[in-house]
Amino acid sequence: MKLSEFKFDLPESLLAQHPAKTRDESRLMVLHRDSGKIEHRVFKEIIEYFNDGDVFVVNDTQVFPARLYGNKEKTGAKIEVFLLRELNKEIHLWDVLVDPARKIRVGNKLYFGESDMVAEVIDNTTSRGRTIKFLFDGSDEEFYKALNDLGETPLPREVITRDAEPADKERYQTIYAKNKGAVAAPSAGLHFTREVIKRLEIRGVDMVPVTLHVGLGTFRPVDVEDLTKHKMDSENFIVPADSAKVVNRALDAKKRVCAVGTTTMRALESSVSAHARLKENQGWTDKFIFPPHEFKIANSLLTNFHMPESTLMMMASAFAGHELLIEAYQLAIKEKYKFFTYGDAMLIL
């Protein structure tokens, strides 16, 4: 398929700037692939589509406050530092993006607020990318606490144009987030509340975790018309043995296995055994899923409404079928569903 087949006009007013007042009060569009039927529901009604023995697979990655503001030594120029990934824990070496990049050269030192946190630029990686080393004398615990205190919730600025607010620290995080390492939230999971999870549990539905640390590559635009030429950024993931066991039991019993989000789906599709079952696995994946694609593990997908020409929309299209997804998106615009991270949800069955 071509990039242009994923283009559509999205009114700016439908880009959610804030989450719904209550997580599970988001709207939920339900797509039935077998009949083409489309339903309009509220997220907390999702439990009606799942029964005893079905499984939700969730991404339990935790977003860390990745956006820091510092000042350059001597000039005092204000610099934004966006933490991407920790390269070496012992010497506090990080992969980052800096803005404005033209002011930051190898050897420069950056100072952060009134704290004792200082970083030195070690290397250039890309036009905006740098490798920096934090010069910090305290314990690991003190270092991460300092980063946590200094950092801001990394809302995707390209779409959410307001400043981060205190409430975002909690709302830009799933309630089951556990393993710190993401710079963007796995947004499909943001709709779950403890009450919804409890009601699914009572119904006999299992919820098992995988971990995929979402990177900024999730939002990287596709700039080639031929999708086979697009390269995804690698993201670190873990599929635990216990989760694989529960998922495989459900598949053997012909039950529903729902991937909560495109990040979860990437981890699952990167961990398929020779017998088309889920295997325990960990490592890095740069798997790019676009139509046509034969999904091996999940037979339902919970996702949000995505941006035009995004890799997330392409995966949803591969799962739903392109014509049905385009029809659903046109209907979503007409019915004023909210799009992107803090937007509404879509369940594809």
Q: What is the pLDDT of residue 220?
A: 82
Q: What is the pLDDT of residue 116?
A: 80
Q: What is the pLDDT of residue 63?
A: 95
Q: What is the pLDDT of residue 157?
A: 87
* Placement of tokens 């549990």 in the chain: 201
CATH of domain 3-63+170-348: 3.40.1780.10
Tokens, residue 100: 């404005």
Are the beta carbons of 87 and 129 closer than 8 angstroms?
no
CA 5 to the chain's CA centroid: 23
Closest listed residue to residue 270, CA positions, set 260, 249, 284: 284
* The domain defined by 67-152 carries CATH number 3.40.630.30: no
List the chain residues with pLDDT less than 50: none
The model's pLDDT over 61-115, given as tens digits with 9 standing for 90+, comes to 999 999 999 999 888 899 999 999 899 989 999 999 999 999 899 999 999 987 7
Q: What is the pLDDT of residue 310?
A: 96
Q: What is the pLDDT of residue 228?
A: 96
Domain boundaries, given as residue ranges, for the chain = 3-63+170-348, 67-152
Q: What is the pLDDT of residue 74?
A: 84
Enter the pTM of the model: 0.94
273-311 per-residue burial string, b: 16 or more CB within 10 A, e: under 16: eeeebbeebeeebeebbbbeeebbbbbbbbbbbbbebbb
The model's pLDDT over 315-344, given as tens digits with 9 standing for 90+, comes to 999 999 999 999 999 999 999 999 999 999
Tokens, residue 134: 């934090």
